[in-house]
């Protein structure tokens, strides 16, 4: 056995000897009693040390409990009524993907193309923005379905919906907000009706209401609509338009879309957004412009047109600042503080700067239903952006 060498710089206790640190002193006499006492003291010290460690562990466990809970990824739940912006509900900044449908036939090659996948990776920020708008749409319509009932004033219904959109999308000028006026067309009115100021229309039990609204982020619009009917006698009408819309989504990918009967056909292109909507009607199935106008939109390609009326110039400045080429309605102008603007608005329409969109109506006494979704033709697949658990 090799002789153990002791480091003179290390204290004697650490070198495994009972010598005192001062080498000039004599070692203490070792007796059986002294050894026993030393062993008892060591055992007592070890027990105390073990007890202290256990207490420390218990304290640590008690202290860690709250922090352990905070470390778990928190999923915020939306309030009722909704009030939390969706961007706060998704701390990662990533929003849910819509329904994915694979391309078929001539476009099947896209699903495995590495080049197309790379194009999608480059467009991810844009996809995420429009998905944020879609999540707002889903949460708002879920809430509206829970509160809409016969006896509601149509103005109250629209303002509740629009204010909820403003909260959840964190409205910010032209960067985020409402994409167009809330359509709540009733019965034979198919589209483009929203109440103007002073309208006292009340939702009735036997009404068929098309609730059509849009959200947008940076001009990327999610346009989706559904129909509300309290009387079950209208269920087959609603189901017909819902299924027709779903069928249209399945076939409208790379297929031609007839703009008018027998007219030019337009091809859907990669990277484009499309709103697929289907109307079911108990009437003739043809619409015409009728009733008082509420929807307006500035023309996309209008150049500089001189205006004589100062009031028209001022109103145009308000439209440019707050809506640009997004659709708006009279209630939105009222909300901005505009008054006595009807003559100026007519002047802008007559000059071709602003386009009026009157309500579209079938024959009186008929009932029209509508369902609509927004789809994105991605390079490798088709995404139904606005799809939800409801429709």
Q: Looking at the DSSP assignment, which residues form a beta bridge with residue 178? A: 215
Q: Which two tokens stand for residue 351?
A: 């000059």
Length of the chain: 391
Strands (E), 314-362: 328-329, 354-357, 360-361
Binding site as annotated, residues for substrate: 192, 252
Burial tier of 157 (Cβ tally within 10 Å: 0-12, 13-18, 19+): buried
Binding site as annotated, residues for a divalent metal cation: 212, 223, 277, 372
The DSSP string of 141-194 is HHHHHHH--TT-BHHHHHHHHHHHHHHHTT-BTTTEEEEEEEEEEETTEEE---
Q: Looking at the DSSP assignment, which residues form a beta bridge with residue 197? A: none
Count other Cβ atoms within 10 Å, centred on residue 309.
15
**Which positions ≥6 away from 88 have C-beta within 8 Å?**
76
Nearest-angstrom CA–CA distance, 391 and 376: 17
Binding site as annotated, residues: 192, 212, 223, 252, 277, 372
The distance between the two most distant Cα atoms of the chain, rounded to a whole number of Å, is 120
**Which positions ≥6 away from 314 have C-beta within 8 Å?**
344
Q: Looking at the DSSP assignment, which residues form a beta bridge with residue 213? A: 224
Helix H or strand E encompassing 233: none
Q: Which two tokens stand for residue 161?
A: 């919906």
């Amino acid at each position: 056995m090799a002789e153990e060498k002791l480091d003179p710089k290390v204290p004697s206790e650490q070198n495994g000897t009972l010598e005192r640190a001062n080498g000039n002193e004599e070692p203490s006499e070792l007796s059986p009693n002294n050894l026993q006492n030393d062993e008892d003291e060591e055992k007592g010290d070890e027990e105390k040390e073990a007890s202290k460690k256990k207490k420390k562990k218990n304290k640590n466990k008690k202290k860690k409990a709250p922090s352990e809970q905070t470390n778990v990824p928190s999923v915020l739940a939306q309030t009722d009524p909704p009030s939390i912006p969706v961007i706060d509900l998704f701390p990662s900044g990533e929003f849910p993907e819509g329904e994915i449908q694979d391309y078929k036939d001539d476009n099947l090659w896209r699903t495995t193309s590495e080049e197309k996948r790379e194009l999608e990776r480059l467009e991810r920020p844009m996809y995420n923005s429009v998905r944020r708008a879609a999540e707002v749409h889903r949460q708002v319509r879920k809430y509206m379905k829970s509160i809409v009932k016969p006896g509601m004033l149509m103005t109250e219904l629209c303002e509740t919906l629009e204010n909820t959109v403003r909260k959840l999308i964190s409205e910010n000028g032209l960067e985020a907000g409402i994409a167009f006026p809330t359509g709540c067309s009733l019965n034979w009115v198919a589209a483009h009706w929203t109440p103007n100021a002073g309208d006292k229309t009340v939702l009735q039990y036997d009404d068929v209401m098309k609730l059509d609204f849009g959200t947008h982020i940076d001009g990327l619009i999610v346009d989706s609509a559904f129909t509300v009917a309290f009387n079950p006698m209208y269920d087959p009408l609603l189901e017909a338009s819902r299924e027709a819309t779903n069928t249209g989504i399945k076939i409208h990918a790379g297929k031609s879309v007839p703009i008018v009967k027998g007219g030019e056909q337009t091809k859907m292109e990669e990277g484009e957004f499309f709103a697929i909507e289907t109307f079911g009607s108990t009437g003739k199935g043809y619409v015409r412009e009728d009733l008082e106008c509420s929807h307006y939109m500035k023309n996309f390609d209008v150049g500089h047109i001189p205006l004589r009326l100062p009031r028209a110039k001022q109103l145009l400045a308000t439209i440019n600042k707050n809506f640009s080429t997004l659709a708006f309605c009279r209630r939105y102008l009222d909300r901005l503080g505009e008054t006595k603007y009807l003559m100026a608005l007519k002047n802008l329409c007559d000059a071709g700067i602003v386009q009026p969109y009157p309500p579209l109506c079938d024959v009186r006494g008929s009932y029209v239903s509508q369902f609509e979704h927004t789809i994105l033709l991605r390079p490798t697949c088709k995404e139904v952006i606005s799809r939800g658990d409801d429709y």
